[in-house]
């Protein structure tokens, strides 16, 4: 059965999501939803250390640059901040490997691509700079996080804009990641069913977490559209939704929305 992961921005929202059937929680700093989620404080994770479902900690020092520069391309200081955060959370005692806890992050770099090379979304022709997985830094963080699981953040969607699906998947898998959070490219998951299907067919042992605009209004159709791409024994599939509505406030989880999405995915699973 397909499961639901909910990104949360407070312990209260985490408990609300858990109470209505979420199977995993992605923990983000309070107030960081507009930036797409940032590294939380240890004090925001401590109240959840006895959670019956896995916790995934966002490791992201900042959101998109205000000058419009590429996201997920980090300075040396920002990368050291990411390393420090992983070390602190590992030492905190709040995480449990046996529960399935882990980290979520993505690190990219610019790279010149030859004409007609790649082209998962728009190609990187003419030698233009393209965003690719920063393999060296990513491997360093995955090794630092060991033995906890690591999921490559939606930075993967930027990679798909200039790389073939298979190339992008191989780059992530080669760094030792356990999974990928993706909408299949720019826009929402519902807009990228064809690309997501290719991702699922080629993901091998990678867990694929489908996120980006997943709502109760579209989750049944989205799941149905992807079902044919999931081979028996193939990639593990999750869906990822903030479960925010006009009724829940800026960062509060709408408990009824959680229930509706869980129902749309086939039932209550914890």
pLDDT of 218 above 70: yes
- Give pTM, 2 decimals: 0.92
Tell me the helices (H) and strands (E) count for the chain, helix number first: 9, 10
The CATH number of 3-264, from 1.20.120.430, 3.40.50.720, 3.20.20.380, 3.40.190.10, is 3.20.20.380
pLDDT of 234 above 90: no
Distance between CA atoms of 2 and 99, rounded to whole angstroms?
18
Q: Which residue has the tokens 């983000």?
A: 28
Q: Shortest CA distance to 216 belongs to which of 194, 244, 195?
A: 244
Summary mean pLDDT of the chain = 92
Q: Where are the domains of the chain?
A: 3-264
Quote the pLDDT of residue 125. Answer: 45
Measured from the Cβ of residue 60, the count of other Cβ atoms closer than 10 Å reads 27
Segment 35-91, tens digit of pLDDT: 999 999 999 999 999 999 999 999 999 999 998 889 999 999 999 999 999 999 999
């Amino acid at each position: 059965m397909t499961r639901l992961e909910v990104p949360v921005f407070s312990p209260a929202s985490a408990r609300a999501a858990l109470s209505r059937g979420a199977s995993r929680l992605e923990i983000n700093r309070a107030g960081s939803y507009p930036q797409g989620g940032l590294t939380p404080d240890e004090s925001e994770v401590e109240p959840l250390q006895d959670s019956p479902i896995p916790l995934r900690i966002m490791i992201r020092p900042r959101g998109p640059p205000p000058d419009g520069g590429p996201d997920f391309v980090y300075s040396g200081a920002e990368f050291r901040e990411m390393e420090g955060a992983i070390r602190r959370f590992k030492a905190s005692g709040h995480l449990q490997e046996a529960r399935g806890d882990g980290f979520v992050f993505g690190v990219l770099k610019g790279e010149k691509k030859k004409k007609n090379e790649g082209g998962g979304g728009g190609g990187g022709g003419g030698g233009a700079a393209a965003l690719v997985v920063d393999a060296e830094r990513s491997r360093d963080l995955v090794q630092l996080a060991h033995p906890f699981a690591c999921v490559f953040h939606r930075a993967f969607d930027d990679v798909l804009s200039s790389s073939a699906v298979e190339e992008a998947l191989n780059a992530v898998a080669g760094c030792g990641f356990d999974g990928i959070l993706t909408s299949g490219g720019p826009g929402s998951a519902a807009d990228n069913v064809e690309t997501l299907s290719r991702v699922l067919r080629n993901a091998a042992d990678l867990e694929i977490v489908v996120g980006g605009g997943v709502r109760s209004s579209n989750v049944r159709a989205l799941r149905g559209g992807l079902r044919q791409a999931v081979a028996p024994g193939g990639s593990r599939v999750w869906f990822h939704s903030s479960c925010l509505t006009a009724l829940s406030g800026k960062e509060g989880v709408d408990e009824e929305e959680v229930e509706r999405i869980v129902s749309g995915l086939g039932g209550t699973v914890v």
